[in-house]
Amino acid sequence: MSHSAKVKRVLRVLWLIAILVVVVGSLLPADSEPIKALDTLPISDKIDHFAAYAALAFLPAIHEKRRFLIAAAFGAVALGVALEYVQLFSGVRNFEVGDMIADAIGVGFGLLAGVPLRSRSAAAMRAVSSDRG
First to last CA, the chain: 20
> For 30, which DSSP code?
T
- Residue spans per domain, the chain: 3-132
Cβ neighbours, 10 Å, residue 133: 5
- Of the candidates 23, 29, 31, the residue with the CA atom closest to the CA atom of residue 80: 23
**Which pLDDT band holds residue 110 (cuts at 50, 70, 90)?**
very high
- Over residues 13-68, the pLDDT tens digits come to 999 999 999 999 999 998 999 989 988 989 999 999 999 999 999 999 998 999 99
- How much is the pTM? 0.86
Using left for φ > 0, alpha for ψ between -120 and 50, and beta otherwise, residue 91 falls in: left
pLDDT of 120 over the 90 cut: no
